Amino acid sequence: EQIEKGGYPHFMLKEIMEQPEALENCLRGRLDLQHNTVKLGGLIDVMDRIWAADRIIICACGTSWHAGLVGEYLIEEFARIPVEVEYASEFRYRNPVLRPNDVVIAISQSGETADTLAAVREAKRQGVLTLGICNVVGSTIARETDAGVYLHVGPEIGVASTKAFTAQVAVLTMLALKLAEGRTLSEAEMAQALRALAEIPDKVRQVLTLDEEIRRIAHVYRYASNFLYLGRGYNFPVALEGALKLKEISYIHAEGYPAAEMKHGPIALIDRFMPVVFIAMKDRTYDKVVSNIEEVVARQGSVIAITDEGNGELDKLCEYVIRIPPAPDFLTPLLTVIPLQLLAYHIAVMRGCNVDQPRNLAKSVTVE
């Protein structure tokens, strides 16, 4: 086992740290920068049907569901196809309305999650096209869906999903761009988007150099009993994912919210014992997020912000500012999630938790 961990104390840390290579493997052969096109071999036979989709319904659980939410933003922005993201467990029992030109995408690292598999079977029963985004080759969901895309990131052992999340988001990014190809994006826009995506593994590498800084921040907050995570747009799902990572492995109560919803509830919880993690990248909602930060600070909340390198504006307001390389807004989830994974990891280790096998959780939930 020590050898499998590659010198790291936990699988989770190994899997966080290997994300640059994992993403390279996921993107390999799929971004054609010469012809400005995306190649998703597993979808070739069904591409016409996906292009013709009236609606895409993404079904997943846990972290994969969070990746699906990022996918909703990506596909709607780039392909202009309406997307719904469903908890697979709800979808399967809801008697969902599906129409012939709907497409159901199941996202599952393991490809074995019982609820996600049941959602696929329900979609097939209703006769719609089903696609799988899985990591485990030959898994049940990969076999039962009509077509799909593998993550190609190698086995994920840590119960809390890390590299699978970034790869799921990368696959959904490629899918959104593929759907936009020759339709909603010009060739120049496509070229720019593909180049920016190709640069992501190196940027992830840069974010990972912040590990020691994040460990120090974790040390300060290790005894907190609650955490709030706030983000907007593409980074709203990342806020949910950051909160999920923390609660899964450190057992600290944490909630993720879209930042603007703060005033409809979570703001009531803020006092000097409430750490609030803000994802405040310099995108179209940045100014609004800064006013949310001000509201938290005015109530003595302690703010940790993630923002772009070179942005010094938040230093006065926030307790800690984590600076990461800038990227086009649709790619920032692939970067902003990394400090949140590391923060959860270090806090859990400091609290003496079993990070690779947290209590009550299973890597793959194959029963209801």
Interaction between residue 19 and ligand G6P (CB under 6 A): no
Q: Which C-beta is closer to ligand G6P: that of 19 or that of 109? A: 109
Out of 61, 75, 142, 270, the residue judged to bind ligand G6P by CB under 6 A = 61
Q: Which C-beta is closer to ligand G6P: that of 110 or that of 173? A: 110
Q: Is 363 a catalytic residue?
A: yes
Out of 110, 166, 307, 336, the residue judged to bind ligand G6P by CB under 6 A = 110
CA–CA distance, 20 with 203 (Å, rounded to integer)? 8
Nearest residue to ligand G6P, using CB?
Answer: 62
CA–CA distance, 234 with 314 (Å, rounded to integer)? 20
Interaction between residue 63 and ligand G6P (CB under 6 A): yes
- Within positions 114 to 133, which residues make up the interface with ligand G6P, using CB under 6 A? 116
Q: Which C-beta is closer to ligand G6P: that of 267 or that of 365? A: 365
Interaction between residue 341 and ligand G6P (CB under 6 A): no
State the minimum distance, in angstroms, from the CB of residue 124 to ligand G6P: 17
CA distances from 216 to 212, 222, 276, 324 (A): 6, 10, 16, 17
The dihedral region occupied by 127, where left means phi > 0, alpha psi between -120 and 50, and beta the remainder, is left
62: nearest Cα among 236, 245, 257, 332: 245
Interaction between residue 259 and ligand G6P (CB under 6 A): no
339: nearest Cα among 217, 224, 254: 217
CA–CA distance, 247 with 199 (Å, rounded to integer)? 31
101: three-class secondary structure by DSSP: coil
CB atoms within 10 A of CB 290: 18
Q: Which C-beta is closer to ligand G6P: that of 26 or that of 159? A: 159
State the minimum distance, in angstroms, from the CB of residue 286 to ligand G6P: 29
Residues contributing to the site for ligand G6P (CB under 6 A): 61-64, 108-110, 113, 116, 159-161, 361, 363-365
Q: Which residues are catalytic?
A: 363
